[in-house]
Chains A and B, each alone.
Chain A
Amino acid sequence: MHYSVFSLLKNALTGHRGWQPAWRDAEPRLSYDVIIIGGGGHGLATAYYLAKEFGITKVAVLEKGWIGGGNAGRNTTIVRSNYLLPGNIPFYEHSMKLWEGLEQDFNYNAMMSQRGVLNLYHSDAQRDAYARRGNAMRLHGVDAELLDQDGVKAMAPFLNFDDARFPIQGGLLQRRGGTARHDAVAWGYARGASDRGVDIVQNCEVKGFVREGGRIVGVETTRGTLRAKKIGMAVAGNTSKVGTLAGLRLPIESHVLQAFVSEGLKPLLPGVITFGAGHFYVSQSDKGGLVFGGDLDGYNSYAQRGNLPVVEDVCEGGMAVMPMIGRLRLLRSWGGVMDMSMDGSPIIDRSGIDGLYLNCGWCYGGFKATPASGWCFARLIAKDEPHEVAKAYRLDRFETGAVIDEKGAGAQPNLH
């Protein structure tokens, strides 16, 4: 069913009894052209673009739990393309452009809201670094504006401008950045894929791979053995676990990242604001809660929950930049398992084993990448060659030295 004002009117007049489920909860079939492991945003987007752009519809998305229940449902919903390095900017800008047309493209309200992403700077050196990043973005055709203190004051007068330690001197603003509704993104892609014939199979955990010769030709799952010509992995924090089943040892560590939401407030924040002297980023959801987060906990974890020191650290960051939130109560906090790569950038590449493709290493920037990740991964699987904007995301870059290290932190995943 196509969603439109007419379908809404028609259903309103008939008591809303005509709505259909948005997507099919499919039973697995025995063989497919392509199997995507992982029913998160990236896996569902891959299936959607495989069907829509590359005409491959005999596709299954296998999800061990329910779709969108992993990191797709645990992020802080920020969308931006304010990167520095040439390997990253074109990819994230491709993603940004897909976000801009996404709702029309998959006919689903993803509540995409380009309310701006503002990175605050607090010193001369940081201003220079942000000016450099802004220039790199503009050279790649991405919008960026360097604001001085008055510029930031006009947008967000409530910030702690005259803090003795971290005075706010200005900020780097990407107006096209913003937020989108995370679960609507997962469901929009699921619906678009399902409508084109893709099977979305839930409660189906991959337990092993089927090999013939040197090639991977199928997966063993909790719902039986399924065969496919090509298999793509988009399992985020579980990349090493699933990779191990195929005999892969990868440049990935799994780390827990916490996020938080406060009680609801009246409209307060103009967009996404990040604190440059610590690690704190915040936006306001359409329900009114402040959604915020900070650093990784910093140790390997598959626990989907973190510890108090980071809660404290994030709240201290918040208090430093926005002291008015001091009496605000936290509503919820949660944790997600991040596939931290060794240079802080993702991998979209062949795995080195015929028939198996990798999509991983999203660190904690996977949500904004969802559309381009799906698009580029679909292209890689369909055509067996990387998309132009994802060429740098090679698996062998760690061996060749062509790493993409935005933060310059080296092979220390908990610092990216």
Chain B
Amino acid sequence: MRIACPYCGARGVHEFTYLGDAKPARPDPAAPDAGKLFFDYAYLRDNPEGEHEELWCHSSGCRSWLRVKRNTRTHAISDAVLVQDAMGAAS
């Protein structure tokens, strides 16, 4: 598996550290049902077979956080962008 880091180009997966599913978003701790929301955020996962958006850190490279689109059945990587770019596109 090689991940195409936007800065460093395609690099072997051993240079990267995996965090997990990119979908869970940290809830507002002041929300009235914050306990429930944090339980969901910390523990529950969709865990799909197929397309999965996930967070990787290029820890032995440029140390950027990446948002990677990867297929969990084939390990094929279709996209890798910097997290800040992905967030910029979303906002």
**Chain B contacts of A413 at CB under 8 A?**
20
What CA separation (Å) do A413 and B12 show in the bound complex?
22
Q: Are A301 and B72 in contact (CB under 8 A)?
A: yes
**Chain A contacts of B39 at CB under 8 A?**
398-399
Q: Are B73 and A300 in contact (CB under 8 A)?
A: no
What CA separation (Å) do A251 and B24 show in the bound complex?
13
A342 at the interface (CB under 8 A from B): yes
One of A249, A299, A300 near B44 (C-beta < 8 A): A249
**Chain A contacts of B72 at CB under 8 A?**
254, 300-303
Q: Are A301 and B45 in contact (CB under 8 A)?
A: no
One of A241, A307, A411 near B75 (C-beta < 8 A): A307
One of A298, A302, A307, A411 near B43 (C-beta < 8 A): A411
**A window 369-416: CB within 8 A of B:** 398-399, 411-414
**Chain A contacts of B73 at CB under 8 A?**
302-303
One of A240, A307, A398 near B47 (C-beta < 8 A): A240
**Chain A contacts of B33 at CB under 8 A?**
none
What CA separation (Å) do A312 and B14 show in the bound complex?
10
Interface 1/0 per residue, B65-76 and A, CB below 8 Å: 000001011110
Which residue of chain B lies nearest to A243 when distances are taken between CB atoms in the complex? Answer: B47
Q: How many residues of chain A have a CB within 8 Å of chain B? A: 25
A89 at the interface (CB under 8 A from B): no
What CA separation (Å) do A271 and B14 show in the bound complex?
32
What CA separation (Å) do A226 and B45 show in the bound complex?
29
In the assembled complex, how far is the CB of residue B18 from the closest CB belonging to chain A, in whole angstroms?
5
In the assembled complex, how far is the CB of residue A305 from the closest CB belonging to chain B, in whole angstroms?
8
A21 at the interface (CB under 8 A from B): no
Which residue of chain A lies nearest to B73 when distances are taken between CB atoms in the complex? Answer: A302
Q: Are B43 and A299 in contact (CB under 8 A)?
A: no
User: Known contacts A309-B13, A412-B20, A414-B18; is A300 also within 8 Å of B43 by CB?
Assistant: no
B46 at the interface (CB under 8 A from A): yes
User: Known contacts A299-B18, A303-B73, A307-B75; is A250 also within 8 Å of B45 by CB?
Assistant: yes
> Which residue of A299, A411, A413 has the most chain B CB atoms within 10 A of its CB atom?
A299
Contact count A vs B, C-beta below 8 Å: 65
What CA separation (Å) do A398 and B74 show in the bound complex?
31
Which residue of chain A lies nearest to B41 when distances are taken between CB atoms in the complex? Answer: A411
A253 at the interface (CB under 8 A from B): yes
Which residue of chain A lies nearest to B45 when distances are taken between CB atoms in the complex? Answer: A253
What CA separation (Å) do A254 and B47 show in the bound complex?
7
B58 at the interface (CB under 8 A from A): no
Interface of A is mostly: mixed
A252 at the interface (CB under 8 A from B): yes
Q: Are A240 and B45 in contact (CB under 8 A)?
A: yes
**Chain A contacts of B13 at CB under 8 A?**
299, 307, 309
In the assembled complex, how far is the CB of residue A251 from the closest CB belonging to chain B, in whole angstroms?
4
B42 at the interface (CB under 8 A from A): yes
In the assembled complex, how far is the CB of residue A150 from the closest CB belonging to chain B, in whole angstroms?
38
**Chain B contacts of A412 at CB under 8 A?**
20
B1 at the interface (CB under 8 A from A): yes
In the assembled complex, how far is the CB of residue B33 from the closest CB belonging to chain A, in whole angstroms?
12
**Chain B contacts of A411 at CB under 8 A?**
42-43
Which residue of chain B lies nearest to A239 when distances are taken between CB atoms in the complex? Answer: B47
**Chain B contacts of A301 at CB under 8 A?**
72, 75
**A window 239-297: CB within 8 A of B:** 240-241, 244, 249-254
What CA separation (Å) do A244 and B75 show in the bound complex?
21
Which residue of chain A lies nearest to B47 when distances are taken between CB atoms in the complex? Answer: A240
Q: Are A398 and B43 in contact (CB under 8 A)?
A: yes
In the assembled complex, how far is the CB of residue A384 from the closest CB belonging to chain B, in whole angstroms?
25
25 residue pairs bridging A and B, Cβ less than 8 Å apart: A240-B47, A241-B47, A241-B49, A250-B44, A250-B47, A251-B44, A251-B45, A252-B45, A252-B47, A253-B20, A253-B21, A253-B45, A254-B47, A254-B49, A254-B72, A300-B47, A300-B72, A301-B75, A303-B73, A307-B1, A309-B13, A309-B14, A342-B42, A411-B43, A413-B20
